[in-house]
């Protein structure tokens, strides 16, 4: 699906990605009184990235809850709250602090519908900023989407633009199943775009063609879309036409969008900042070679974070995929 | 005063029946004869249900079974205090309270025979599915209790179950603390049966009791003799009253004893002495209550025979119903994962459907 | 490397896989007094699978420690013990109960050497039985090796035979870096083989060609080797010659062994019981297509667990990969 | 007795200096003049070090910095009680005790400027790298304390640090319980600065203190006025004596106050009132100790000037040394992952090496 443009008549406002998630949260809370927000510092502080700013004032402490500093409790209590009829939107302060909650996520959140044979679906959203690029201390730059994508029962959504972020957080909240909603903190405030002021929902599981092309497909998501587009521009100047696909949902992957492009072009480069080993890029490469092998003119290339701990800030920029690395991978597929 | 006492706490333990079933009259709850014998019947029903499962397991007709033998007083003393609108968040050793709450025996058997359908509890039965990762369900109970509070309920509470071993997990702590902060409508009900598989309680913690932890969360707690159904009845009543009143959670520790192997996959003779078991056999909660009822002229051999016949008949009928159930379609493996099947589960479902033909 | 046969002169004993791990543990504890064993029920009970049987009697309670029921504590305390000069071998009772320890594993164990710039390497082994096939309650059948393989700083070892198990647990213990050692519980006692009575170590990171072949390569590990070999035998009868590779180490993968076979034959089927999405099979497919594309006669096929929660026992056999599914995948590559 | 008290506990709090620096003579530790002024100097050094980091951060010469302003008494009162063979398991707000233990200031600056090399502490300094996931390091301290015990040490202990927020995490519980069971040689040292980013202590737990949790683990604990360096000195001494004696862990809660933003990435005016800060400014641990020293004739303006000059010079020299360090080679990203680089890191290293040329 090509990026939907906002209809001319619609009223819009210029928002950053962080603000767009904030708007989406507020509007869903207005629409549905069972939606509650909980996490560390989500109240008076408005979240360390201000994504929940203003919600406490608007909806009060019974719907916007500062929790004790305990991630397992945040997610575990959300299970009980969901059974009690609420739609909890949990904030985990950084992806690097989600590990204490993995037991609740893997052992319960992902399994409750199945375990109860449909009796207790859990409409829980777990939001978390992820990824590098802001030079913070250790553990604040992690990209662990692969863990969630590997876990049956979860959906994994990663927006890359304000407009998508607003529509996707709405869908995540309305979804009857648990959604891990990962927000690329590097681009929380990197740019603004016009976003419809009305509430709206975008489908989970649909990728977006950010830019059509003829010579190579670049598949990416989150903050890497920006890197992919920088590469695309540079390539354009070199006469190489790249198609850029924004996955938007990591599970379920929009396999058709990727395959259509792969079949059309025959060269695919996947970009993500998480480590390469057993990452999402591996799944895409595996699926593409499995289902479009005869269309492939070159192996699917991966441009990823190194298989190393995300470094402390002074070396951080050398860890993250760059447009140069993307271009190099593109050249490799072209030269194959 | 430069050295000040900033906190003082005492933890109480309640016993009513002694090991031979003699009651402390002053503490006896005011229960009708029917209520007294009702508690006994409930325990006998649980035991029969449990024994049958062990027998089925030996015959290869049941999966791994965790016996509740010895813990019937805990579960019965609690169960009769529960209201229909209360919620349970059970661990894997709560069969007794579960069948006392309207979950058909056949469903509990089905769960442990390895069939998810057992978990689809009847409409109106407020019980979460069995949770196996120890202590994890205490957080569900804390969240549920908060949810009930947010919904403005003023009767319903959530009961979270766990064992002594589970009390060492981080989730135990997070649940009690979370519940305390939000004054959630939650009873934390701990059956300390003194063993976590092969690990005895004194290796689980250096604390003398679990009940005393309550003070660390600013909530009340107490210990009760978990092999004394009258004491559990009184303690659970008091604890539930506290929670129902909206004053926040309560931690109730029932000190009891696991009379069987941990599960049918376990062999307790490897790690525990026969003496200990013999000691606790003399403190069997059912024998004790029967002795009390007999001495109170509320029970006799005739009633006992009739009861055993009745519960046996029920159990046999449930086993029959349970075993009559054909296995679920193999496609059930993928059919309950999401509200709508994603494309890959659609494909995988086709594999399952083809193979099962 | 073709499976090394035990030299004729060596003294051997017939052991199950569980016994072989037990022997390996005992011998390493004898060799090195800093090796300690800790976990739930590892003492008097000898572990719920009896893998630590006899160790308490032999080495006493200071070296074989029953811990409180707390997985984060087991792994977290092991970090401190390792810094204090010990080589802790932690047992996690089942892979389905490792989640509470993931914070310690991901945030610390995997990162300590790097974080301290080499000052504090952590020679910790975390053993855990994994996988399906024994009809236990929920959470007792999980295969979450992908999580560990995706995490930089860990090594992941999965043996499939008694002889390998003994040699690999020795290497894991002697390794200066943390090793996740996953034991296929389904074959703990499935068969016995002659195992050298002397202590020995097998290299981590080396796959084994279990069976040479000409028409297709089957890559598997752990309990799936048995399934792969059953398929291999059936295929043999149908005139199809399968080469079976036992990875033995999931991280670092023995890329050369896989590529050599892929280049020789051109058809690869990967088998594992973990869910397919972003699993180890994806990584292998991605690497093979990337590095041996021109040798491939068909896409790399994956035969995996379904992307669903591992079912309760009554449906369990339908979840696990079977020789039939493997053969079907082989036929698919042959018919491509 | 059917209702028995099975556990009783009281939790004490120690204060020696009042807010104006007047001492309770009966409780004054017997310290020499040098030791008294030494405590003060240590605190002043910490504060200068901390202030400089904040200044560097404003100038873009430092990464995110978590100030220890207000917590110097906790860290100094502990530090002087430590032996060379003791181990620290620090959280992210232990700069004070770290520089007091022989870790060069330049290394602590380096860590927070974002350079792993800061963590390669000098030989003989027993300190784990900074741990950021709150409470997680308490388990390392419990394990280290057990390791020291198993090694037969009879002096060395491990000190695990955490904040009030961290006390809500499961790892806090597991660490104290594990330490209690194994009688590990561990001091759990909690600086309750009453805020966890924007969450005040009373939203963190319904318990009045953290110290009272000790009873739940069968270990001793107490609270101390964490803005009173003499009280911390006495309390830490007592706690360490307990741990050194082999009787198991100790939980020491220092009630203090975070006088700065959580970190330089935070803006505390969003969630806390200026009044509260003002209240605590009057209880500044450094001012208080200076008042005591001055009134004891152990300190004067001249000494103050000389001290400030000295610590400023030290800090400036360390900043210079720290800033002179060129960035690490980019290949460091992969070079410390394993003892031997696997093939894929060999390949990835080549990318890094090529790019940095
Ligand atoms: C998180 C977790 N770790 C390990 C296990 C394996 N396990 C099952 S029951 C059990 C012991 C539980 O002891 P306790 O909490 O006292 O309950 P009991 O079995 O005595 O009722 C263990 C270790 C588990 N279920 N969950
Ligand atoms: C497990 C985990 N979750 C979240 C965070 C993010 N975070 C960093 S510091 C902090 C507050 C810590 O409060 P406290 O323990 O009181 O320590 P203080 O900052 O007051 O010293 C939080 C939430 C973290 N570091 N670790
Ligand atoms: Mg128990
Ligand atoms: Mg604090």
D121-141: pLDDT as tens digits? 999 999 999 999 999 999 999
pLDDT at residue B1 above 50? Answer: no
pLDDT at residue A2 above 50? Answer: no
Distance CA D89, CA D110 (A): 18
Would you say A6 and A163 are in contact if contact means Cβ atoms under 8 Å apart?
Answer: yes
Residue entry with tokens 């993307």 = A326
Identify all chain A residues contacting B151, using CB atoms and an 8 Å cutoff: 84-85
User: How much distance in Å is there from the Cα of A73 to the middle of ligand 3?
Assistant: 23
Q: Is C11 on the interface with B (CB under 8 A)?
A: no
Q: Atom of ligand 1 at shortest distance to CA of B136?
A: 1
Would you say B126 and B117 are in contact if contact means Cβ atoms under 8 Å apart?
Answer: no
Residues measured by CB to lie within 5 Å of ligand 4, the ion: D 163-164, 193, 196
| Cβ-based burial of A334 (10 A; exposed 0-12, middle 13-18, buried ≥19) | middle
Among D169, A249, C129, D207, residue whose Cα is nearest residue B172: D169
Q: How close is the nearest chain D Cα to the Cα of B206, in Å?
A: 5
Check CB contact under 8 Å for C44 and B112: no
Q: How close is the nearest chain D Cα to the Cα of C328, in Å?
A: 32
DSSP state of C98: -
Q: Which of residues 68-127 of A touch B (CB under 8 A)?
A: 68, 70, 72-73, 75-86, 100, 103-104, 107-108, 112-121
Pocket test for ligand 1, best of C93, C99, C129, C137 (most atoms within 8 A of CB): C93
∠ CA C2-C6-C9, nearest 5°, is 145
Would you say C249 and C156 are in contact if contact means Cβ atoms under 8 Å apart?
Answer: yes
Per-residue pLDDT averaged across A251-272, rounded? 98
| Cβ-based burial of D123 (10 A; exposed 0-12, middle 13-18, buried ≥19) | exposed
- Residue ranges per domain, chain D? 13-17+30-325, 329-357
Identify all chain D residues contacting B213, using CB atoms and an 8 Å cutoff: 216
| C119 to chain D: closest CA residue | D120
Active site amino acids of A: 140
pLDDT at residue A1 above 50? Answer: no
What band does C188 get if pLDDT is binned at 50, 70 and 90? very high
Residue entry with tokens 């479009």 = A292
B232-289: pLDDT as tens digits? 999 999 999 999 999 999 999 999 999 999 999 999 999 999 999 999 999 999 999 9
What is the model's pLDDT at position D1? 46
What is the model's pLDDT at position C1? 40
**Two structure tokens written together for B343:** 């494309």
What is the model's pLDDT at position A10? 84
B109-134: pLDDT as tens digits? 999 999 999 999 999 999 999 999 99
User: How much distance in Å is there from the Cα of D211 to the middle of ligand 4?
Assistant: 15
Distance CA B227, CA B257 (A): 8
Identify all chain D residues contacting B24, using CB atoms and an 8 Å cutoff: 2
**Two structure tokens written together for B24:** 């402390």
A56-108: pLDDT as tens digits? 999 999 999 999 999 999 999 999 999 999 999 999 999 999 999 999 999 99
Pocket test for ligand 1, best of B67, B68, B196 (most atoms within 8 A of CB): B196
Among A302, A330, A134, residue whose Cα is nearest residue A223: A134
Residues contacting residue B205 through CB under 8 Å, at least 6 positions apart: B167, B168, C68, D177, D180, D181, D217, D218
For residue D317, what are the CA distances in angstroms to D104, D105, D312? 11, 10, 8
Would you say B190 and B221 are in contact if contact means Cβ atoms under 8 Å apart?
Answer: no
Would you say A37 and A66 are in contact if contact means Cβ atoms under 8 Å apart?
Answer: no
B309-331: pLDDT as tens digits? 999 999 999 999 999 999 999 99
Check CB contact under 8 Å for C293 and A291: no
Q: Atom of ligand 1 at shortest distance to CA of B132?
A: 25
Q: Atom of ligand 2 at shortest distance to CA of D169?
A: 1
A140-171: pLDDT as tens digits? 999 999 999 999 999 999 999 999 999 999 99
Among D192, A240, B40, D121, residue whose Cα is nearest residue C83: D121
User: How much distance in Å is there from the Cα of A242 to the middle of ligand 1?
Assistant: 54
* Cross-strand bridge partners of residue B88: B127, B159
Task: For chain A, state the CA radius of gyration.
Answer: 19
What is the model's pLDDT at position C311? 98
Residues contacting residue B53 through CB under 8 Å, at least 6 positions apart: B62, B65, B67, B95, B109, B112
Q: How many residues are there in chain C?
A: 336
pLDDT at residue B93 above 60? Answer: yes
Identify all chain D residues contacting C100, using CB atoms and an 8 Å cutoff: 170
Check CB contact under 8 Å for C117 and D116: yes
DSSP state of C247: -
- Protein residue with least CA distance to atom 17, ligand 1: B163
∠ CA A228-A232-A236, nearest 5°, is 175
What band does A3 get if pLDDT is binned at 50, 70 and 90? very low
Q: Atom of ligand 1 at shortest distance to CA of B169?
A: 1
pLDDT at residue B101 above 50? Answer: yes
Ligand nearest to the CA of B198: 1
**Two structure tokens written together for A90:** 């949990």
> For residue D263, is the peptide bond before it cis, meaning its omega torsion is within 30 degrees of 0?
no
What is the model's pLDDT at position C9? 67
Q: Is B175 on the interface with A (CB under 8 A)?
A: yes
Return the number of other C-beta atoms located less than 10 Å from residue A31's C-beta. Answer: 13
Which chains touch D (3+ CB pairs under 8 A)?
A: A, B, C
Q: Which residue in D63, D266, D271 is closest to A137 by CB distance?
A: D63
Q: Is A136 on the interface with D (CB under 8 A)?
A: yes
**Two structure tokens written together for A70:** 């305990």
Distance CA B113, CA B99 (A): 16
B148 HSE (CA, 13 A, CB side): 31
DSSP state of C243: E
DSSP state of B326: P
What is the model's pLDDT at position D323? 97
Q: Atom of ligand 1 at shortest distance to CA of B263?
A: 19
Pocket of ligand 2 (CB under 6 A): A 40, 69, 93, 97, 100; D 93, 132-134, 163-166, 193, 195-197, 258, 262
Which chains touch B (3+ CB pairs under 8 A)?
A: A, C, D
* Cross-strand bridge partners of residue A219: A245, A270
Q: Which residue in B14, B173, B215 is closest to D2 by CB distance?
A: B14
List the beta strands (DSSP E) in chain D.
Answer: 3-14, 87-89, 158-163, 186-192, 195-196, 199-200, 221-225, 250-255
For D188, phi and psi rounded to 5 degrees?
Answer: -95, 115
Among A88, C9, A73, A299, residue whose Cα is nearest residue D170: A73
User: How much distance in Å is there from the Cα of B79 to the middle of ligand 1?
Assistant: 23
pTM beyond cutoff 0.95: yes
What is the model's pLDDT at position A138? 96
Would you say D128 and D140 are in contact if contact means Cβ atoms under 8 Å apart?
Answer: yes
Among A28, A47, A44, A27, residue whose Cα is nearest residue A127: A47
D169-214: pLDDT as tens digits? 999 999 999 999 999 999 999 999 999 999 999 999 999 999 999 9
User: 3-state class of D114 per DSSP?
Assistant: coil
Q: Which residues of A130-150 are buried (b: 16+ CB within 10 A; e: fewer)?
A: bbbbbbbbbbbbbbbbbbbbb
Identify all chain D residues contacting A129, using CB atoms and an 8 Å cutoff: none
Q: Atom of ligand 2 at shortest distance to CA of D263?
A: 19
Identify all chain D residues contacting C150, using CB atoms and an 8 Å cutoff: none
Identify all chain C residues contacting A308, using CB atoms and an 8 Å cutoff: 114, 152-153
User: How much distance in Å is there from the Cα of B132 to the middle of ligand 1?
Assistant: 8
Q: How close is the nearest chain B Cα to the Cα of A24, in Å?
A: 23
User: How much distance in Å is there from the Cα of D232 to the middle of ligand 4?
Assistant: 17
Handedness of CA D117, D119, D120, D121 (dihedral sign): positive
ipTM attached to this prediction: 0.98
Task: Put residue A239 in one of left, alpha, beta given phi > 0 → left and psi -120 to 50 → alpha.
Answer: left
Among A201, A193, A251, A234, residue whose Cα is nearest residue A18: A193
Q: Is C315 on the interface with A (CB under 8 A)?
A: no
Higher pLDDT, A231 or C5: A231
CB-based contacts of D119-124 (< 8 A; 24+ apart in sequence): D119/C115, D119/C116, D119/C117, D119/C119, D120/C116, D120/C117, D120/C118, D120/C119, D121/C116, D121/C119, D124/D84
Check CB contact under 8 Å for C290 and A285: yes
Among A139, A138, A146, residue whose Cα is nearest residue A180: A146
Check CB contact under 8 Å for C103 and D136: yes
In order of start, what are the domains of chain A with their CATH numbers? 12-196 (3.40.50.970), 208-334 (3.40.50.920)
Per-residue pLDDT averaged across A226-254, rounded? 98
Check CB contact under 8 Å for A68 and D92: no
For residue A117, what are the CA distances in angstroms to A107, B78, B334, C37? 15, 28, 11, 40
Q: Which of residues 250-309 of A touch C (CB under 8 A)?
A: 251, 274-275, 277-283, 285-286, 289-291, 293, 296, 298-302, 306-309
DSSP state of D168: G
The correct answer on CATH 3.30.365.10 for the domain covering B13-17+30-325 is no
Return the number of other C-beta atoms located less than 10 Å from residue A7's C-beta. Answer: 8
**Two structure tokens written together for B212:** 């005393």
Distance CA A16, CA A14 (A): 7
Residue entry with tokens 């092998």 = A293
Would you say A42 and A65 are in contact if contact means Cβ atoms under 8 Å apart?
Answer: yes
User: 3-state class of D159 per DSSP?
Assistant: strand
What is the model's pLDDT at position C8? 55
C193-196 and C242-246 strand pairing: unpaired
Would you say D213 and D221 are in contact if contact means Cβ atoms under 8 Å apart?
Answer: yes
For residue B194, what are the CA distances in angstroms to A70, A147, B127? 28, 37, 26
What band does B2 get if pLDDT is binned at 50, 70 and 90? confident
Distance CA C291, CA C43 (A): 47
Q: Is B203 on the interface with C (CB under 8 A)?
A: yes
Mean pLDDT estimate for chain A: 96
Check CB contact under 8 Å for C99 and A115: no
Mark out the alpha helices in chain B (DSSP H runs).
33-58, 72-79, 95-99, 105-113, 136-150, 170-182, 201-204, 229-244, 274-281, 285-295, 301-324, 332-335, 343-356
pLDDT at residue D143 above 50? Answer: yes
For D6, phi and psi rounded to 5 degrees?
Answer: -100, -5
C15-68: pLDDT as tens digits? 999 999 999 999 999 999 999 999 999 999 999 999 999 999 999 999 999 999
**Two structure tokens written together for C50:** 């009896």
Return the number of other C-beta atoms located less than 10 Å from residue A307's C-beta. Answer: 25
């Amino acid at each position: 699906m090509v990026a939907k443009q906002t209809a001319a008549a619609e009223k819009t406002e210029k928002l950053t990605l962080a603000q767009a998630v904030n708007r989406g949260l507020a509007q869903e809370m207005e629409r549905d009184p069972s939606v509650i927000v909980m996490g560390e510092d989500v109240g008076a502080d408005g979240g360390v990235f201000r994504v929940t700013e203003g919600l406490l004032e608007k909806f009060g402490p019974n719907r916007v809850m500062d929790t004790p500093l305990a991630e397992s409790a945040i997610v575990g209590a959300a299970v009980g709250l969901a059974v009690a009829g609420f739609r909890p939107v949990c904030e985990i302060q950084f992806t690097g602090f989600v590990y204490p909650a993995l037991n609740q996520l893997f052992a319960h959140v992902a399994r409750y519908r199945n375990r109860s044979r449909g009796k207790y679906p859990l409409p829980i959203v777990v939001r978390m900023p992820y990824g590098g690029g802001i030079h913070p201390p250790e553990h604040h730059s992690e990209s662990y989407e692969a863990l969630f994508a590997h876990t049956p029962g979860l959906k994994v959504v990663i927006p890359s633009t304000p407009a998508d972020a607003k529509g996707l957080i709405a869908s995540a909240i309305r979804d009857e199943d648990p959604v891990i909603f990962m927000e690329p903190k590097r681009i929380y405030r990197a740019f603004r775009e016009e976003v419809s002021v009305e509430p709206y929902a975008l489908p989970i599981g649909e990728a977006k063609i950010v830019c059509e092309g003829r010579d190579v497909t670049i598949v990416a998501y989150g903050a890497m879309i920006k890197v992919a587009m920088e590469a695309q521009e540079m390539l354009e100047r070199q006469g190489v036409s790249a198609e850029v696909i924004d996955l938007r949902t990591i599970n379920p992957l929009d396999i058709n969008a990727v395959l259509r492009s792969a079949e059309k072009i025959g060269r695919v480069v996947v970009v993500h900042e998480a480590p390469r080993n057993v990452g999402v890029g591996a799944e895409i490469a595996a699926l593409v070679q499995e289902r479009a092998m005869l269309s492939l003119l070159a192996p699917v290339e991966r441009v990823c974070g190194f298989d190393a701990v995300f470094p402390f800030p002074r070396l951080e920029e050398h860890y993250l995929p760059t447009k140069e690395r993307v271009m190099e991978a593109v050249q490799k597929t072209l030269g194959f | 005063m430069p050295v000040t006492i900033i906190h003082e706490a005492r933890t109480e333990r309640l016993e009513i029946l002694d090991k031979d079933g003699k009651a402390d009259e002053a503490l006896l709850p005011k229960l009708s004869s029917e209520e007294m014998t009702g508690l006994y019947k409930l325990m006998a029903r649980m035991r029969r249900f449990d024994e049958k499962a062990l027998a089925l397991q030996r015959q290869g007709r049941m999966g791994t079974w965790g016996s509740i033998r010895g813990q019937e007083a805990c579960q019965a003393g609690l169960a009769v205090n529960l209201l229909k609108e209360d919620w349970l968040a059970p661990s894997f050793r709560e069969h007794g309270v579960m069948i006392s709450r309207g979950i058909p025996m056949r469903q509990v058997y089905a769960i442990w025979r390895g069939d998810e359908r057992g978990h689809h509890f009847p409409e109106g039965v407020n019980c979460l599915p069995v949770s196996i990762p120890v202590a994890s369900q205490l957080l569900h109970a804390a969240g549920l209790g908060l949810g009930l509070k947010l919904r403005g309920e003023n009767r319903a509470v959530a009961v979270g179950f766990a064992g002594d071993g589970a009390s060492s997990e981080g989730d135990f702590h997070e649940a009690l603390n979370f519940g305390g902060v939000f004054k959630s409508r939650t009873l934390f009900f701990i059956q300390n049966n003194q063993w976590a598989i092969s690990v005895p309680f004194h290796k689980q913690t250096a604390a003398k009791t679990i009940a005393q932890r309550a003070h660390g969360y600013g909530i009340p707690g107490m210990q009760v003799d978990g092999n004394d159904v009258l004491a559990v009845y009184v303690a659970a009543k008091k604890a539930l009253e506290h929670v129902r009143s909206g004053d926040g959670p309560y931690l109730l520790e029932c000190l009891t004893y696991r009379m069987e192997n941990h599960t049918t996959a376990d062999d307790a003779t490897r790690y525990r002495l026969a003496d200990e078991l013999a000691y606790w056999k003399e403190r069997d909660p059912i024998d004790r209550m029967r002795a009390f009822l007999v001495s109170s002229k509320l029970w006799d051999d005739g009633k006992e025979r009739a009861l055993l016949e009745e519960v046996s008949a029920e159990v046999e009928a449930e086993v029959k119903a349970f075993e009559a159930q054909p296995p679920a379609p193999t496609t059930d493996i993928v059919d309950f994962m999401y509200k709508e099947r994603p494309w890959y589960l659609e494909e995988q479902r086709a594999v399952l459907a083809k193979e099962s033909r």
